[in-house]
Each structure stands twice: as C-alpha cells, then as structure tokens.
Structure 1
Amino acid sequence: MLPPLKSLPVFETVARLNSFSLAANELNVSQSAISHQIKILENHLGESLFYRQGRHLELTKEGRHYLDVISHSLLQIAQATNKIKGEQTTHIRLAVYSSFAVYWLIPRLPELKRQHPNLELSIEMSDGSPDLSDRTADFFITVEKEKRGFLFESLYEEELFPVCSHTYLEIIKSRLNATTDKELANKLNTIPSPLAQFSLITSYSIYDRHLEDWKHWFKNLKQPFPVSTQFHRFSHLMLAYEAAKHSLGIALVNDYMMNEITDEAALLKLPCSAFKTGDNFYLAYKESRKNEEGIQYLKKWLCEEAKALP
C-alpha cells in the first residue's frame, strides 16, 4: 500500500534541513501545514519519524531508515520528470573534507563545469568523516571504506611531508649555511634531523592530538622526538598550511594541499623524508545509484584529476 504521497517530499525536506520552519520556507507553505503532513505520514506508518525536544529535532532510527529508502526514489522521480520536460540539469551533493575542498577541489571546478555544463555540484564541507547517508549528500570523499549498500573506489593514499614558505626557506638556508639546493638536501637529511632547531607547526585534526604528526615524522626517521623544539599548535591542517604560508615555521601537509592550480606555489616541499599516515581516501556512493549519469560523470572526472597526485 502506497503512503500518502504528498507527505513524502515534506518529510524529505524536513529531514534534510532538520527544521520544520526551514522546510516551510523552502516549500512555501505554513509550518502548521508541514507538521500536519508529517503527522499524516507517521500515522500511516505507525512509527514516529522524529524526536522533538523543544526546538531540537532529530530523526528516529525508523526515520533514518525511511529517509534512506525514499530519498533515492524521490530523486529518480524528479530526474525522470526533468528529462521528459527537456530539463537535463543534474544536481549532485558532494560531501568532502574541508582541506580537500579548499585546496584541491574548488580550483578545479571550472574545468568540471567546462566538461559537464549540465552538472550542478553542491559542496558539503566536513571536518570529520561525513555520515554516509542520502541525508548528508549523494557522493562522498571519505576515509571510510565499509557501509552496506555503498560502493567504494580508492582515490588517494595520504602522505605527509615538511613544507615552508619561500621566505622561511631562506632562513633555513642561512642557518644551515647551505648555498645550493644540493647542500640543503644533504644537510636536511643528516642524523639527527636539523629540522628540530626550527619552529614547527602542528595540527590536531589528523591524529586528534597536537604534536602527533611530528612524532610520526621523527619516528619514521628512527629518531627521538625533540622535546625542546618550539611548536605552533593549530586545530586544523588548513590553519597549519596558512601559518606556514605566512612564514611561521615548517608544517606537515599532504599532496592534495600542494596541488593548487596557481602560477607559483605558496609553499615549497623540503627535500627530506615523508611518511604515510595510514589513511586512504575513497569515493563513495550508493550502489543503487551507480548508473546515474551525474554519479558517473563526477566519479570519472575525480579519478582523472586525482591521477596527478603522487
């Protein structure tokens, strides 16, 4: 037996926006009309779809499951309708880590638009791993690799290496008395590492702890961690990157942050050791949606662009 069909897009909108009032604004109806349609649907299903505590709204377990099932069906109906009407625009919501979005993805979006002018992309930035759900997005870049009903495709294996600004590089050369690139490389790769005498920039976001990134770097060199080194602490890799750009010291960043499309690189890789963090980035999308044109276009384009990553 079909549910009350008028209630389904109302439920999807409330769940996506996590708000009755915002859903009312988007659908251009009153908030009482939204509440009425949700009540009709809940009565039909015999289950509560939301927890309501004051202004706080949250999907129940049954609500999350129902949303995962019906949101794809509503999308297919919308796409079929647009195709019949001759409106070929495809809208895809992409959830991606903030640093990946800012430094790698956004500079490349004009090329995506050139290749696929009818593909409209909405970017959902995330500090942590995004929830793999239709409520969050249609397509994901994530370090997760397991969830029932999803397909995963390897994109990039993360590696961290020391970088600094052009200005700070001159400070390093002067302090180490290195006049050529070869001399600099030889001195930076001596044991113990001379990097310990410079200001180092650490970020919290990769290992959920300050200094852990540099501890792994020194451990990779089989060297003790330098306790006397001056560290500048930041919560996120993006902030560490920006601090290095402004010559605060040496930071550990990854390949995709060094793949900006610019005339001149803001930061320079130092000629010394790198290490793998153990994180692998994957493309993820629902198996039931693998044949959709928008999903296929985006997957193919991301994979082609990622080939430039080491």
Structure 2
Amino acid sequence: MSNRLPPLRALTCFEAVARLNSFSRAAQSLNITQSAVSHQIRQLEDHLGEALFIRHGRYLSLTEDGRQYYEDIAAALSDIQRATDRMQGREDRKLRLALYSSFAVRWLIPRLHRLQDAHPEIELSLEMTPESPTLSDRIGDCFITLVERQRGYTMERLYAERLFAICSRRLWGRVVVDLCAAGLAGPGATPTALNPDWLQRYTLLSAQSLFGAPNEDWRRWLGAADCALRAETRVQHFSHILLALEAARHHQGFALANDYMYSEPEDPDLVRLPCHTLLTGDCFYFGYKTSRRNEPAIRTLRNWLQQEARNSGLLGVQQPID
C-alpha cells in the first residue's frame, strides 16, 4: 500500500497551493523556493495521472479533479498535524471561522473583544462569505451556517431568524403625529400597538437578500398579519438588508430587520415598531467536524458563542421552529 501513496512533501505543497491559490505564497509559507513547489506539484500530477491546476497566465484555479482531491486529503493532513501536536504536547489554538458577512459585521465583530479578553489564547481569524459558507477544510475550521445537517459535522443552533419592522426616530415621530390626526392615538401618547397595514401609507424598504425576490419580504411579513401588499404602495428595493437598514437610518422608510442586524441599545437612532414578528424558517448553526469535537479551541469558541447568543437574546427566546 505504501508504494501507492504519493510523497508527503508533494501533498503538503499541493495543500498549500490549493489553500492559498498561489505558488509563490505557498513557497513562502513552506519556506522553500517556488521552483521546488512547482516540481512537487508536477511529481504529484504525474503520480496521479491527472492535472490538478489550470493556469491562466498569472491566475490559478483548481481543476475539478484537483478540487475533489483537495477536499479528500486536506482533512487527513490536518488530522496528522493535530495528532503530531498532541504527541509533542502542543495544542493549536488557531481557528478559522467562516460565516455570513452580515452576521460577522453586525453581531460578531462588536463582541470579539470579549472573546479576546476572556480567552487570549484563541487566535481567531474570520472568513466572511456573502452566502452560507461551504463546509470544507479549505474554507474554515468551524462555521456559522444555515446548513442544518451534513455528514461528519455537528450542528448546534444559535438563532432562529425572525423579522420585525423598524424605522428612524424622526420617521416614527411623524407616524405618531399622523396617528393622532387620524384619531388612532391620543395626544402625546406613544402607541403600544400598530396595525401593520398602516405602514403602507409610507415607503417600504425591501431587501431582496432576505427571500431572493423583490417585495417578498414585505409580502410575507404583511401576510402574517392577514394584510396584502397593495399595488400602489411605494417600495424602494435594495439587494441586501444592510442597505435597507442604512436607508431606514436616514429616514427613507420602513425596513424589516432581524435580531442580529438590529439591537435597540446598539442602534439608538432606530425604533422597533409595535407590530408582530415573522419567523423566516432559517436557522443559524455553529458547525464543526464531529471528529474535532474535543479540541479545546473549538470547545471554547462553541461555549463562548452560545453564551453570547443567550446574552444577546438570539438563543433561547424564540419559539422553536424545528
């Protein structure tokens, strides 16, 4: 069997090139010359009888065979490295966490200082993606993802997404004045309940990223209150919820937000309207390879994330939707 195995040196060179997408960066990380890396890759391609990379001038990409081979061997190389570290009395505390860019920017990054203060031994790097990250060693060591199940991975729920309406304090003041003029609120009183249909008198800010189609966020939210989105309602469209929230902050209309994008203490310029919430059906999970469940760094990050999710109201306050 050993005669059929490629040299470990060639495998480590391949893993570095595939991960860094560069022969020169791989050479730097391995502390060898670029020509040595190229030689090892050629040897490996000859051994396998398959091309692993496609070279487009200065650009590099994995072939389909190369991508599959990387997925198959990266985990094994990581396991060898971790086993060696344990044998030598070392534990790797470096972790790559792959997650949605919006979740990272609006929820995680403002809290990272607490992780650094409580666990300075953890070296966490963030790999942000515009969509739910692919569960792969090439992408990260652990993930915050919408994927509920994947073979070989453990998934633990952090948040069941729900949507609610928000606007700027200035616009809310105008709404209160309009309600008083219509006899629906007393002078100087702050409404404790608002008919969702009333919002259609103003501009609605729609984020296509929520459900993948224009207006769908407001259709579903209004529909949950037995209201229909009217053809004459003015709707301003945005590709992403971040843009809709910024427009709301600048008094341009009502937006739909979720718990990790909006927090009243952290967004004093915005007001959550006294209306219903809509469960979207999406859940965010912290995921990691089941084979790595006992690694101290992953256990520490898992416990910290769950505690922060509880403290911020993401975990434990919603009705389960499983």
TM beyond 0.5: yes
Contact 1:201 1:231 in 2 (8 A): yes
Q: 1:54 to 1:28 in 2, by over 3 A?
A: same
Determine the structure 1 residue equivalent to 2:219. 215
Aligned residue for 2:227, secondary structure, equals coil
- Show the 5 A alignment for 1:3-42: 3-42=6-45
Q: What letter matches 2:306 in structure 1?
A: C
Q: Percent identical across equivalent pairs?
A: 47
Shift of 1:183: 5.0
- Which of residues 269, 277, 284 is equivalent to 2:287? 284
Q: 1:45 to 1:203 in 2, by over 3 A?
A: same
Determine the structure 2 residue equivalent to 1:151. 154
Instruction: Indicate the larger mover: 31-40 or 292-301.
Output: 31-40
Post-superposition CA distance 1:186-205 (Å, at most 9, x none): 4x227xx1000111111111
Determine the structure 2 residue equivalent to 1:43. 46
Q: What letter matches 2:228 in structure 1?
A: P
Task: Give the structure-2-normalised TM-score.
Answer: 0.85
Structure 1: distance between partners of 2:217 and 2:82? 45
Aligned residue for 1:110, secondary structure, equals helix
Q: What letter matches 2:169 in structure 1?
A: H
- Show the 5 A alignment for 1:98-109: 98-109=101-112
Contact 1:104 1:260 in 2 (8 A): no
Determine the structure 2 residue equivalent to 1:128. 131
Q: 1:4 to 1:89 in 2, by over 3 A?
A: closer
* Corresponding position: 1:92 with 2:95: yes
- Show the 5 A alignment for 1:172-211: 172-177=175-180, 178=185, 184-186=191-193, 188-189=194-195, 193-211=197-215
Shift of 1:79: 4.5
- Which of residues 70, 73, 83 is equivalent to 2:73? 70
Contact 1:89 1:118 in 2 (8 A): no
Aligned residue for 1:205, secondary structure, equals helix
Shift of 1:59: 2.8
Shift of 1:136: 0.8
* RMSD, matched Cα: 2.5
Contact 1:67 1:134 in 2 (8 A): no
Determine the structure 2 residue equivalent to 1:233. 237
Q: 1:253 to 1:184 in 2, by over 3 A?
A: same
Structure 2: distance between partners of 1:160 and 1:107? 21
Number of residue pairs the alignment of both structures matches: 306
* Corresponding position: 1:268 with 2:274: no
Instruction: Indicate the larger mover: 167-176 or 106-115.
Output: 167-176
Structure 2: distance between partners of 1:17 and 1:179? 63
